[in-house]
Structure 1
Amino acid sequence: MNVNSKKKLIQTIVLSLVINGAIPVVVYNLLLNYYSSFVSLLIATLIPLGDNLYHIVRYKKADAFGLFMLTGFVLSLLAFVLGGNERLILLRESMVTGLLGLIFIASLFFAKPLIYHFAIRFSAQDQSEKKGQFAKNWELPYFRFVLRFMTAIWGIALLGEAIVKIILVYELSISAFLAISQLIFYGVIGAAILITMVYRRYAKTRLDLLTNGR
């Protein structure tokens, strides 16, 4: 990753933290003077949703994070229908990440784990060629271990993020939780990405040795 790419990535993360973390906290505290805590929280959580829907409309595609936020909003409405529990609204994203984590872990028991399909989808322009290469590499026990290990890492990370937030939402005030929830999310996702990149580089070197020796 070059300097410009790193700078753009940092700017994107900082902007997202402001929109998804700082602004909702400010809006929530301002609205408390006029509305109940529940209504204030519900309105504040619409801000991240609006930001992601804007990007979906602008780029004409629903990316994974946009769908993630949309699912979270649906869960917020469900929480309102079930009785308007504020803690449920705060946990809506964790419900999604926890579910995704369970899906990652569950895929370990299928023929091919989730990372296998993600790798084909996102790592190459010529997907037919990539599928052929993956099919050949899948015959190697080490290659299967690598993909299952990476799937497990993401499953544990997403599920762990959800568990940490579930604990904190009952230990912290609403304002405090809103302030740190995005830091937890990006911290966990960032750690998972870092582990994936480092391990992928190591695994590729070893895999090249195995494939060249065939």
Structure 2
Amino acid sequence: MKVSSKRKVIQMIVISLVINGAVPVVVYNLLTNYYSSFVSLLVATLIPLADNLYHIVKYKKADAFGLFMLTGFILSLLAFVLGGNERLILLRESMVTGLLGLIFIASLFFSKPLIYHFAIKFSAEDASEQKGKFKKNWEIPYFRTVLRIMTAIWGIALLGEAIVKIILVYELSISTFLAVSQLIFYSVIGAAILFTIVYRRYAKVRLDHLTHIQ
């Protein structure tokens, strides 16, 4: 990865952390002086949603994080309609990550795990060529094991993130939870991505060796 590309990625991460983490905390603390905690929190959650909707409109396509926040907001509204309090609204993202984690884990019981389909979509520009390569590699037991391990790790990571937040939301103040919530999310996602990169490199070396033997 070039230096300019690394800087661009770092800038995007910092901006995302500010918009989705720091700004909502500041807005929440300011609004609590004039409105109820529930209303203040609801307004604060609209900020990351608005940012992601802006990107969806600007680039004419939805990204994973934008859809993630949109789903979380829908769950927040549902919690409000059902009489949920601010603690329940804080758990909106955890509901989504927890659900995604369960989907990853559930996919292990299907013919092909979720990572198999994600890898085809994001690993190469020529999806048809990549799909053919994956179909061929799928015949190798080690390849199937690698993808199932990756799927399991992502499922456990997302489900674990949700469980940790569910515990902390009732142990910390709302302001403190808002401050650490995004940090927990990005730490878990970052760790899962790092594992995927390292494990993929290791697995590729062994897979190439097995392919040559065959």
* Other-structure match for 1:37: 37
* Other-structure match for 1:59: 59
Counterpart contact for 1:154–1:192, Cα < 8 Å: yes
Q: How does 1:50-89 map to 2 (within 5 A)?
A: 50-89=50-89
| Alpha-carbon distance, 1:76 to partner | 0.7
Counterpart contact for 1:38–1:84, Cα < 8 Å: no
Distance between the aligned counterparts of 1:212 and 1:128, measured in 2? 23
* Other-structure match for 1:97: 97
Q: In the alignment, does 2:168 pair up with 1:202?
A: no
Task: Name the SS for the 1:45 alignment partner.
Answer: helix
* Other-structure match for 2:125: 125
Counterpart contact for 1:75–1:92, Cα < 8 Å: yes
Q: Which runs of 4+ in 1 moved over 4 A?
A: none
Q: Gaps spanning 5+ residues in structure 1: where? A: none
> Number of residue pairs matched?
214
Residue identity over aligned pairs, in percent, reads 85
Distance between the aligned counterparts of 1:25 and 1:125, measured in 2? 39
* Other-structure match for 1:24: 24
Distance between the aligned counterparts of 2:24 and 2:162, measured in 1? 20
Distance between the aligned counterparts of 2:30 and 2:125, measured in 1? 47
* Other-structure match for 2:150: 150
* Other-structure match for 2:161: 161
Q: Gaps spanning 5+ residues in structure 2: where? A: none
Distance between the aligned counterparts of 1:54 and 1:153, measured in 2? 32
Q: Write the deviation string for residues 115-148 of structure 1: whole angstroms up to 9, x where unpaired.
A: 0000001111111111111111000000000000
Q: Write the deviation string for residues 141-183 of structure 1: whole angstroms up to 9, x where unpaired.
A: 0000000000001000000000000000000000000001000
Distance between the aligned counterparts of 1:17 and 1:78, measured in 2? 26
Letter in structure 2 aligned against 1:169: V
Distance between the aligned counterparts of 2:98 and 2:2, measured in 1? 33
* Other-structure match for 1:106: 106
Task: Name the SS for the 2:35 alignment partner.
Answer: coil
* Other-structure match for 1:2: 2
* Other-structure match for 1:46: 46
| Alpha-carbon distance, 1:2 to partner | 2.0
Q: Write the deviation string for residues 72-110 of structure 1: whole angstroms up to 9, x where unpaired.
A: 000110111011311111000000000000000000000
Distance between the aligned counterparts of 1:36 and 1:207, measured in 2? 58
Distance between the aligned counterparts of 2:130 and 2:18, measured in 1? 38
| Alpha-carbon distance, 1:203 to partner | 0.3
